Amino acid sequence: METNNLKTAIQGPLLIESAASIGNAIRRYRAEAGLTQEQLSRRTGIRRVYLSEMESGKETEQIKRLLALLHELGVSVTFDKAEWPLSRFAELDDLHSLVH
């Protein structure tokens, strides 16, 4: 249900201006890809807990520094759906399934 709300509520590129907007973008694109946090975690090597914190808008030190750098340089950033396949890490999911 939340996935449908995300798709219809937000269209087009997402302006990144805070930790919350980064989290919203990650959650949106993860949901559109049909992945759980656990699946995305395994595919990227990012701990699920950290992924959850990012999606909830937690301002980590890395995110705070990146946003400060962009702000100081006068640069705006938008996230938009890329044309490259997310399946790049699918082999890791397949291997994990075989081992467990």
The CATH number covering residue 26 comes to 1.10.260.40
| Buried b or exposed e, range 63-87, using 16+ CB within 10 angstroms | beeebeeeeeeeeeeebeeeeeebe
Which stretches in the chain have pLDDT values below 70? 1-11, 83-100
Which residues span the domain enclosing 84? 2-99
Global pTM value: 0.69
Number of structural domains the chain divides into: 1
- Residue 38 contacts by C-beta under 8 Å, 6 or more apart in sequence? 48
Residue 67 in contact with residue 2, Cβ under 8 Å?
A: no
- In this predicted structure, what is the pLDDT of residue 94? 55
- In this predicted structure, what is the pLDDT of residue 3? 45
